[in-house]
Structure 1
């Protein structure tokens, strides 16, 4: 039997966006544990806005496990928060009741800013701004990306791959100090689990650099890009059958349900969805082929393949909860008759 370090990770009860929390327990196993081997574990919900002090017990139910290459015999355990009975989902548990479908595929493009002392890396200290946007997107060189940002994102990439997260790529983004990583998963819960653990790994890695990760969708006001979390999605029907008629019905359903989508696509989205900086206005819905200013971008490959494949919802923002984003997309798709 070997001792394993299990880092339980969960979402707290803060609103409008939950924070990641984690703590470690040591358990013995013959080999790297499977999900079904992991015990539930309690925590003090009164310290995470999930319970009152006079009745503070909450439970953590493991839902996914990933190797942690930063520790000997380490594991990252994504968990749902449950009530003290261990069976009832806590009101803050946004994962438990979302629709799920292993045939639904999601690709999340997570943008973020790396910050130090309240300013993006590469911004002048104190006040002022760097040169305007233009050279930073996919940029190379110290002037464009700075001295430590690339080291951070490369190490983060390795940590995610070591963990078995389906991390698909990285790039410097349009604004100075802004970066992006992409995660792909099959099933709404699995895809979102991977995004949350990838976020956790990035924040934990940045501790040693004395750098913060800013997830807010518009941390720098003015003529600077905000941060999105564009969601690429498809179902088995969209990939295999599709068709223009079904696509048009799907877009109509997205238009009808626009308020439900915006409600879960992340707070302060009005600051980002202004109709500028490759966004559609928050009060409008549109779709277009290769249109980065539309609500839904339709790839050329989708149209050229007889309206089969995936679509990109460009409205979710960088603070959004991927559980809720994927769940709402599936809810809307479910309203459209097949065939």
Structure 2
């Protein structure tokens, strides 16, 4: 028998952006445990904005387990938060109620800033560095500094060792800003992997004395890009059938549901979606081929393939909850009649 270090992680009850929490328990197994072998585990919800002190019990229900190569015999256990009966989802548990479909594929592009001493990494103590331009996909000390690439490479290796569908990294437009990409088939799977990847990144930076800043516009109303979490998406119908008529109906549905999308695409998005810095205004909806300033960017390959493939929603921001983002995209797709062929049901 081997003693395994099981790091149970979950989302707390803070709003509008939940925090990741985690605690470890030790269990013995003959080999790396399966999800079915993992027990429920309680925690003090009064310390995480999920219960009152006079009735503080909450329960963690494991929903995903991956290897944790940063610890000997370690595992990361992603959990949903349940009420004390262990069966009823807690009100903060968004994962339990989202619309899901294994035929819906999502690729999230997570942007973020490294921060040290209250400033983006690489910024001078006061003022600003040279204007953005050379930093995007940059190389060299003057572009990316001496530690950021080490962190993102290490994070990439940890994610791959955990079996996550991590698809790439790059330095972003602003100084100290980076991005990683996660892909998954199904809303829950894609979002699960994004939350685990976020956890691994935040834990990793502890040893470097550097913070991750997910706010979508940490530099405020300046001539510096904000951070998004662009959501690339497709359904079985969109990949296999598509067509211009269906695409145009789909875009009309997205325009009609603009407020519903913005409501779950991350807080303070009005600061980022200004119509500048590769964004469309939060008050408008647009789509265009290869248009980085549109709400929905349409790849050239999508048009060339008779309007089949994937689309990119550029409005979700870096603080957004991928569970809710993916679910809202599917809800809107489900309002277009021919979307029934993709297996998505608005009543799901």
Normalised TM-score (structure 1): 0.99
Match of 2:334 in 1: 334
Is 1:119 paired with 2:119?
A: yes
1:1-339 matched pairs, under 5 angstroms: 1-125=1-125, 127-221=126-220, 222-338=222-338
- 2:208 counterpart SS class: coil
Following TM superposition, the consecutive aligned residue runs of length 4 or more in structure 1 with deviations greater than 2 angstroms are none
Q: Deviations 1:247-291 (Å, cap 9, x if unpaired)?
A: 011101100000000000000000000000000000000000000
Q: Deviations 1:184-235 (Å, cap 9, x if unpaired)?
A: 0000000000000000000000000000000000001200000000000000
CA distance in 1, matches of 2:307, 2:162: 35
Identify unmatched segments of 5+ residues in structure 2. Answer: 342-348
CA distance in 2, matches of 1:115, 1:78: 26
CA distance in 1, matches of 2:78, 2:328: 21
CA distance in 1, matches of 2:205, 2:234: 33
Identify unmatched segments of 5+ residues in structure 1. Answer: none
CA distance in 2, matches of 1:238, 1:30: 44
Match of 2:345 in 1: none
- 1:96 counterpart SS class: helix
- Would you say how many aligned residue pairs link Structure 1 and Structure 2? 338
CA distance in 2, matches of 1:48, 1:15: 11
CA distance in 1, matches of 2:32, 2:333: 38
- 2:173 counterpart SS class: coil
Normalised TM-score (structure 2): 0.97
The alignment yields a C-alpha RMSD, in angstroms, of 0.6
